[in-house]
Amino acid sequence: MFYILCPYCGEHREEEEFHPKGQAHIARPADPENTSDDEWGDYLFFRDNPRGVHHELWVHAVGCRKFFNITRHTVSYEILEVYKMGEQPSITAESLASAEKSQGVQVGDGGQQTVGASDSAAKDSRGTKV
Ligand SMILES: [Zn+2]
């Protein structure tokens, strides 16, 4: 079971209070009269199904009844962030991938710095172990 932080209520509540409403950030075509059938079909029916970071629309159905967005990892089910309607996610698949790459670089650098036994490396290793 998820415990979801409603960004409007400000409380962690049980998943049963919420309903998922599908992929977030689906924009209705600005000019429906001049939208092709393919574009309209994409808008109505086709959704992303990523393995990894996914932005989802949820509603706090039994609480404040407001819609909000969740960034969730589809493999681990971990909720990475919650944000209100109209806001943009701070965590995306691209930002998470680059963060993981930079963490890998930091681990490598930390190992080299530990061998050198500089003061900054000692602080870094304490920070990461805690
Ligand atoms: Zn709420």
pLDDT value at residue 105? 52
Is the same domain home to 68 and 27? yes
pLDDT value at residue 101? 83
> In this structure, which residues have their CB less than 5 angstroms from ion ligand 1?
6, 8-9, 60, 63-64
Is the same domain home to 83 and 116? no
pTM above 0.85, yes or no: no
Is the same domain home to 70 and 102? no
| Nearest-angstrom CA–CA distance, 76 and 62 | 26
110: containing domain: 95-129
CA angle (69 as vertex; 89, 83 as ends), nearest 5: 55
CATH number at residue 58: 3.30.2270.10
The CA 56 to ligand 1 mean position distance, Å, reads 16
Is the same domain home to 10 and 74? yes
The CA 18 to ligand 1 mean position distance, Å, reads 9
Per-residue model confidence as pLDDT tens for the chain (130 residues): 889 999 999 999 999 999 999 999 999 999 999 999 999 999 999 999 999 999 999 999 999 999 999 999 999 999 999 999 999 999 998 988 888 888 765 443 333 333 334 444 444 444 444 3
Is the same domain home to 47 and 83? yes
